[in-house]
């Protein structure tokens, strides 16, 4: 599984990255967590606001900080699919 955190380094973007890492550890899912800070790469996902959360190429959230529990649910749902 590839999880990408989209953001240019703002506080919310850093928090999302840290929360995603914690969610991966707590779920035990085998996933690579990647931080995307390049604005052109972020724009390729067609999101208007960061931070963004992308799991296996699909945008799951944009412009907000999802909770740890929400991120864990998104990861587990993507792991089943």
Q: Residue ranges per domain, the chain?
A: 2-80
Give the confidence band of 68 by pLDDT, cuts at 50, 70, 90. very high
In CATH, what class is 2-80? alpha beta
Which of 3, 5, 6, 13 does the annotation list as catalytic? 13
For residue range 16-59, list pLDDT tens digits in order.
Answer: 999 999 999 999 999 999 999 999 999 999 998 999 999 999 99
| Peptide bond before residue 51 is cis, with ω within 30 degrees of 0 | yes
Q: Is 81 a residue whose pLDDT tops 70?
A: no
pTM above 0.85, yes or no: yes
Q: Is 9 a residue whose pLDDT tops 90?
A: no
Which of 2, 10, 39, 49 does the annotation list as catalytic? 10
For residue 13, indicate whether it is catalytic. Answer: yes
Measure the CA angle with vertex 26, ends 60 and 12; round to 5°: 45
For residue 10, indicate whether it is catalytic. Answer: yes
Give the confidence band of 80 by pLDDT, cuts at 50, 70, 90. confident
Q: Is 67 a residue whose pLDDT tops 70?
A: yes
């Amino acid at each position: 599984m590839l999880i990408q955190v989209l953001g240019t380094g703002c506080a919310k973007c850093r928090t999302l990255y840290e929360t995603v890492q914690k969610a991966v550890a707590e779920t035990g899912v085998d996933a690579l967590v990647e931080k995307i800070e390049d604005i052109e790469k972020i724009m390729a996902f067609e999101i208007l606001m960061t931070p963004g959360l992308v799991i296996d190429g699909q945008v799951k959230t944009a412009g907000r900080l999802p909770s740890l529990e929400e991120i864990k649910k998104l990861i587990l749902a993507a792991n089943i699919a």
